[in-house]
Structure 1
Amino acid sequence: MNPDWPQAFAHHRYQALRAGPSLIVTGAVHGNEICGAIAIRRVIAELERGALALCAGRLTLVPVANPLAYRLGQRGGDRNLNRNLAPVAAPRDFEDHVANWLCPLLAEHEALLDLHSFRSPGQPFVFLGPADNDGALEPFGHAAREEALARLLGVARAVDGWLSTYALGVERRRRNPLGDPRQRELNGDARYGVGTTEYMRSRGGWALTLECGRHDDPDAPEVAYRAIVNTLAHLGMIAAPAPEPGPMELLSLYEVVDKTDDADRFARGWASFDAVAGGETIGWRADGEPVLAPEDGHIVFPNPDAPAGQEWFYLAKPSARLGR
């Protein structure tokens, strides 16, 4: 085991006298996304001094899920923890050790709120899982629970379609492998799209990923904190009224576009959820070939610094799912 790695993991658990839901809240799954860690530590401090009181159920708080990446101030330590998340018999990198600790912890709970931030400018939003289905990719039966909570988190936009869209990217990466040997191995694994929320659903639970704003947005920790408190109130775990649900726009991811060369470049400085028109030039490949939007929609998670073989941007289009 690498002596330079952090040698321990930490979580904080609170058990009320009265039975109730079991909720886990995670921060810093990506080490440069610190808003969740700040908000969770604020909740811990308020629980310790009595400003918040757990009145039902079990609450587990994980301020820093990936301590190596957090210490380094970067997205991952040895790799992206929020991909191919599952216990492994023979750990190869630090994130494998995280998974062997974190996955059993997730499986002990009914619900997960995972707090993240993003690189490019944009407004906070929440990632939903799939609609109820019995398909092979991500069978699920708790969509109503996720949708009800999503409306109370304090954001006005939801996005779904993550795993199905990611699976399309996996198939392309298998046909055109790029990157170092370890990255090529991960890119070709159909499970590589599975992160915290997908793992939680695979164990019978339900989960939301809240993207609280840009990494350096000073308001992001407050967005994260308010979401935790609203979740606890909604689940009846603290004695506080839940906010009224508000209107919410839903977009569905339908396409992921990878960089094929480090010199691929955007046509302009895109922000998440910028509108794109069908046929509009999003960027250019290194050889000058334009990358065009296939139809009207929105760009999501544009990353000009993505390495070759990794996600450059996603495309999304409006969905009527939450309007039914």
Structure 2
Amino acid sequence: MKTLEQIRAALSSYPVEIEFPDISRWRQGNTGVAFVHSFDSQTEGPHVMIMALMHGNEVSGAIAVDHLLRRGLKPLKGRISLGFANVEGYARFDAANADASRYIDEDMNRVWTAARLDGEQQSTELRRARELRPIIDTVDYMLDLHSMHEAAPPLIVSGPLDKGMRLAAEMATPAHVIVDAGHPNGVRMRDYGGFGDPASHKNALLIECGQHFSALSKQVALDAAARFLVTTGVIAEADVADMLSVDTSVPQRFIGVTDPVVAQSYDLEFADDYRGMEIIPTAGTVIAREGEREVVTPYDNCTLVMPSLRHIGAGVTVMRLGREIAAPATAK
């Protein structure tokens, strides 16, 4: 049986094309929570938040939040909060072992339920989530900036609700929108509380900006952060025009996730060098093998969503399968 180290050694490595910002200057904050800053217009309006570093090695979001903090923000209405989540993971980043700082003890983007946050379990990520929770509980619109293991097209994760799909359509970019119910091994911040409640006005998007360390991911993160502030009405477009760089004329594809591909061991292998958003035209096509087990596409024109073996193991989802669905009526 292969080891995880052997698997990672055989995978493509990616150069670090972007500079990691020093976020220590933002430690103090102004909210009572370390690394969280808020800007209040003193005018009625929504509380809008942009979060970076839910995973400690996903630097593009940190670049965008650092950029917004350095330039200063004057909301037209409501309140803007900017935060860095897994700061301990980020502080441990080592380019020679780039995946290791994703988290310290557990995936921070799987702990977002009242049961976990109110429970007695302890971890680095749970402690930080508990610190952030009082701020997040007051947020109306959340943008969670992420990046991906492999070099794949940027995408929005809207969650399964119509309100998430509509907000993704209003953003108009990235071109791929993933409509899904989350992960079986824990709840994402994007789905926490009112964000995941169809009866709540609260809404959230998660954007995967591209491969962790690519210059393109930095560009997408800056664009997405600015566009989110404009879309939610708290910032004038003219104030962030220099950050808007992504073409919004490309029609969005909405992909409904239907099936996870879950490894049973370290021995699962993909049938090709999949990176993400490949469309497999024919149902029954073998896309992965694990010993005698073959994983096949369940329908024609099946889209492969975020395939990666970098964190493979028994019970780990290594890709998801989806099919194109209708865009919401507000889609451009």
TM band (smaller chain)? 0.7 to 0.9
Within the candidate set 262, 265, 268, 1:258 is matched to: 262
Aligned-residue offset at 1:9? 3.4
Q: CA deviation at 1:106?
A: 1.0
How far the C-alpha of 1:322 sits from its partner, in A, is 2.6
State how far apart, in whole Å, the 1-side matches of 2:106 and 2:92 are: 12
**1:322 aligned counterpart, secondary structure:** coil
Q: Tell me the SS of whatever aligns to 1:98.
A: helix
Contact between 1:117 and 1:212, CA under 8 Å: does it hold in 2?
yes
8 Å Cα contact 2:161/2:196 also seen in 1: no
The one of 78, 82, 89 equivalent to 2:109 is 82
SS of residue paired to 2:222:
helix
Report the Cα offset of residue 323 of structure 1. 5.4
**Aligned: 1:66 with 2:86:** yes
Q: CA deviation at 1:206?
A: 0.6
Q: Distance in 1 between matches of 2:145 and 2:296?
A: 32
Deviation at 1:149, TM superposition (A): 4.8
Alignment partner of 2:174 out of 123, 130, 155: 155
8-17 vs 234-243, greater mean Cα deviation: 234-243
Contact 1:9 1:67 in 2 (8 A): no
Return the match for 1:227 from 224, 227, 244: 224
What displacement does 1:273 show? 0.7
SS of 2:328 mapped into structure 1:
helix
SS of the residue 2:71 aligns to: helix
The Cα of 1:46 is off from its aligned counterpart by: 0.9
- Structure 1's 120 and 105: CA in aligned 2 closer, same or farther, altered over 3 A? same
Q: Secondary structure at the match of 1:229?
A: helix
SS at match of 1:254: strand
Match of 1:315 in 2: 321
Whole-angstrom CA distance in 1 between matches of 2:172 and 2:54: 19
Amino acid at match of 1:75: R
**Distance between the aligned counterparts of 1:67 and 1:302, measured in 2?**
26
C-alpha distance in structure 1 between counterparts of 2:61 and 2:215, whole Å:
12
In the TM superposition, structure 1's runs of 4+ consecutive aligned residues that sit over 6 Å from their partners are: 242-245
**3-state SS of the aligned residue for 1:100?**
helix
The answer to whether the Cα contact below 8 Å between 2:173 and 2:252 also exists between their aligned partners in 1 is no
Q: Offset at 1:275?
A: 1.2
Which residue does the alignment assign to 1:199?
192
Q: Which residue of 2 aligns with 1:126?
A: 156
- The equivalent residue for 2:271 is 267
Q: Is the 1:126–1:150 Cα contact (8 Å) retained in structure 2? A: no
Which runs of 5 or more residues in structure 2 are unaligned?
1-26, 28-32, 94-100
**C-alpha RMSD over aligned residues:** 2.4
* TM-score, structure 1 normalization: 0.78
Indicate the residue corresponding to 1:181 in structure 2.
none
> Is the contact between residue 168 and residue 177 of structure 2 (CA under 8 Å) also seen in structure 1?
no
State yes or no: 1:304 paired with 2:309: yes
Work out the CA distance in 1 between the residues paired with 2:35 and 2:157: 26
TM-score, with structure 2 as normaliser: 0.76
Verify the 8 A CA contact 1:150 1:208 in the aligned structure 2. no
Please give the alpha-carbon distance, in whole angstroms, between the structure 2 residues aligned to 1:265 and 1:149. 33
* Aligned sequence identity (%): 25
Change (3 A) 1:42 1:282: same
**Aligned in 2, Cα 1:160/1:115: closer, same or farther, shift over 3 Å?**
same
Aligned to 1:291: 295
Deviations 1:107-166 (A, max 9, x none): 11101000001112211111112234xxxxxxxxx44xx524544253111110233xx3
The residue correspondences of 1:17-56 to structure 2 (distance < 5 A) are 17-47=42-72, 52-56=73-77
Q: CA separation in 2, counterparts of 1:217 and 1:210?
A: 15
Distance change >3 Å, CA 225–CA 237, structure 1 → 2: same
Question: What letter matches 1:76 in structure 2?
Answer: Y
In the aligned structure 1, how far is the partner of 2:74 from the partner of 2:218?
A: 20
AA partner of residue 156 (structure 1): A
Contact 2:154 2:174 in 1 (8 A): yes
